[in-house]
Amino acid sequence: MFSDSLSFEKRDFLPALIGAGISLLMLKSGFLSFFFLVPLGFVAYSCPNRTAWLAFFITLAGNCFLTIAYAAGSAMPMQAILWEIFYYAVTTFIFIWIIAPPEFLFPNISETARLVAGSCLGSLLFSFIFFKSTDSQAFMEYIKYFINSIISVYQSSGTDVVENAMLETLTPEFVLEKIMALMLRGGSIVSCILLFFVCCQISLILARLSYRLTGRNFQWINESKLKGVNALAVFHVNPIVIWVFSFSLILIVLTRIKKYEIPEIILWNILVVCSILYLAQGLGIMQHFLVRPSFSPLLRLLIVIAFFFVLFSPVLNAFLLGALALLGIAENWLPLRVSKQSGPPSTPEAGGGGN
């Protein structure tokens, strides 16, 4: 069934090969490894779905070869090799599925729903591999060495006696325990959503930029596919999510009081997903107003610069993200993006909105 839905053509091989090659180079580069999915996303947005899946198969084969070649020279355990190959394959598969789902794999649900579902699956895999790795003595020694190094750097650079005294009470075991608790309560999902969302947005921006620069002269660009992707400015969260958000918040308090840890962990993850959706809706509201003609290009540029300045400022960024999430929640009752032509408040698309 898979081969019937994705019958490749000769013209698919060159863009797939280029995208796969750049992706593998970025993956092994170290500094750009976080963005290794971007070249594959560019292919997925610019070309037919079959080209994106061909790029996936090429990267899968290339990563297997490079991982085994590296392991041969470093005496890497076979179990670690298999886990690395498996994690890369699943992560890449989820990312391609989010952007370019084949006909037999839920193509009719929205990209947002695929993003959330894929991130949940990726977070389960990431958490499983991480907790599996904690059984390894070598891994635990490395983690403890890393945490001790960070603590010693802060202790040597800090002049506050109280701050140094607090740092001395921290142990690698305590820090690792808190990291694991944070991962279980939404940290893994946030990491996966951030990875997939950022790579999707960068890929889309690059694909649209390439279309504007080349247009019809570039045979790889799929014009209809690019125009079919919704901007964040029109993203709406399904109204039912506010009830899920509210009940999750209440149930977290109750399970915390009763000390039901497993239900609490599940509810925290649901709450985090809902919060991220409302954060995206808040960003969409901000973008909706920024693209209006009443904003001059200079004022729009200054607002964007101020936004990123606050975003990368400690403490201030927490207030900014919280305010945007609250803005997204407020749109459940306030028609913030209703034009004069439309009467009732904006109704989300089935499945939770656009990109």
Task: List the domain boundaries for the chain.
Answer: 230-355
Per-residue tokens: 93:
């598969």
Q: Considering the entire predicted model, what is its pTM?
A: 0.76
CB of 95 within 8 A of CB of 41? yes
Contacts 24+ apart (CB under 8 A), 98-107: 98/196, 98/200, 99/41, 99/44, 99/45, 99/52, 99/200, 99/203, 100/44, 100/49, 100/52, 100/53, 101/49, 102/2, 102/5, 102/6, 102/49, 102/53, 103/5, 104/1, 104/2, 104/5
Rg of the chain's alpha carbons, rounded to an integer? 23
Query: Scanning the structure block, which residue is given the tokens 């400015």?
Result: 233
For residue 330, report the phi and psi dihedrals to the nearest 5 degrees.
Answer: -60, -25
pLDDT truncated to tens, each residue of the chain (355 aa)? 444 455 667 777 888 999 999 999 998 887 788 889 999 999 998 888 889 999 999 999 999 988 888 777 666 667 777 888 888 899 999 999 999 888 777 777 888 888 888 998 988 888 888 777 776 676 667 777 777 776 676 666 655 666 666 666 666 677 778 888 888 888 889 888 888 988 988 888 888 888 777 755 555 556 666 665 656 777 888 889 999 999 999 999 999 998 888 999 999 999 999 999 999 888 888 888 887 777 777 887 888 888 888 877 878 888 988 999 999 999 989 888 765 444 444 434 434 444 4
